[in-house]
Amino acid sequence: MSAHESEWTLRRLRAGELAAAEAARVQAHAAGCETCAQALRGLDDAQARFEAEVPFERFEAGVERALQRQRRQDAARPPPRRWVATTVAIAASLLVVVLVRPLLTPDATSTEGLGLNRLKGGTAAELRIGGGLGPQREATPGTPEPLDPGERVMLGYKAGTHRYVAALSVDAIGEVSPLHPESGASAPVGPGSDQQWLPSGWEFTGSGAERVILVLSDEPLPMETLAEAARRAFEKADGEVVRMAPLEVPGEQTHWVLLKP
């Protein structure tokens, strides 16, 4: 058995994902182990550097302007057309992994549905991109967003009445990567009704499209169940990640598409 805690365990401690007894044990260990204490400080420093490069306050002002534009557009456009067939292909939004907006109901099947950013009960989701040479920005569900080299991603949400959150990504060849949490089941949402941010960040490597999916649910969903649902959706889309339909799982989903350089 290792004398030190794994990085995965320390990340879960920072994210508040450990049970109370386990969290107390790991904290006690880190208090007397300089190696693990230094690893925890390194995680804190990495998060602080990312937040310094992509300040939330400035971005939130842009988000509010975008929401106001969306409200005006929604008021001006006719009601979305409802499709009967469940096999209609959708140009969903894609994303990627270093730090990680609109939510999707499980039965939405149109491209417009992927552009929603608020659902019942005040639920919402957001994907921010930053850390590159240009200014930070928000990815719009339903619109593929090109990434520049070195850019990273953060995921935020308002859970509404939902109690659990999970995130995963699917790349152009169908490989599924759990983002938050990395294993187990979806994690409890953060306290309060304000915007919450997932504790980790992601920088996606390679090239091609990557779909990022955030799922809010009333009960915890095993990450393997979500991953298997993503694989089935990829197969039903004939291996075209940009055409994947919503996952067949309970809860509300948001999908983004990122185009890696």
DSSP 199-259: S-EE---SSEEEEEEEEEESS--BHHHHHHHHHHHHHHTTT-GGGPPPPSSSSEEEEEEEE
Spell out the domain ranges in the chain.
7-53, 56-260
Residue 62, pLDDT above cutoff 60:
no
pLDDT at position 233, please?
Answer: 97
Type of residue found at 254:
T
| Angstrom distance (rounded) from CA 113 to CA 135 | 27
pLDDT at position 55, please?
Answer: 55
Fold of 56-260: Coagulation Factor XIII; Chain A, domain 1 (2.70.50)
Residue 43, pLDDT above cutoff 80:
no
- Helix (H) or strand (E) segment spanning residue 40: helix 34-53
Share of the chain above pLDDT 90, in %: 41
Residue 71, pLDDT above cutoff 90:
no
Type of residue found at 52:
A
pLDDT at position 13, please?
Answer: 83
pLDDT at position 144, please?
Answer: 94
Residue 169, pLDDT above cutoff 80:
yes
pLDDT at position 107, please?
Answer: 30
Residue 89, pLDDT above cutoff 80:
no
**Residues 132-145: pLDDT tens digits?**
777 888 999 978 99
pLDDT at position 119, please?
Answer: 46
Residue 161, pLDDT above cutoff 90:
yes
pLDDT at position 191, please?
Answer: 86
Global pTM value: 0.59
- Helix (H) or strand (E) segment spanning residue 65: helix 56-76
Residue 200, pLDDT above cutoff 80:
no
The pLDDT-based confidence of 19 (bands split at 50, 70, 90) is confident
Could you tell me which residues come within 8 angstroms of residue 248 by beta carbon, excluding any fewer than 6 positions away? 106, 229, 232, 233
Query: Lowest-pLDDT range, 20-24, 88-92, 247-251?
Result: 88-92
**Residues 106-130: pLDDT tens digits?**
333 222 333 334 445 578 999 999 8
Could you tell me which residues come within 8 angstroms of residue 96 by beta carbon, excluding any fewer than 6 positions away? 147, 153, 169, 202, 203, 204, 210, 212, 258, 260
Contact 232, 79 (CB under 8 A): no
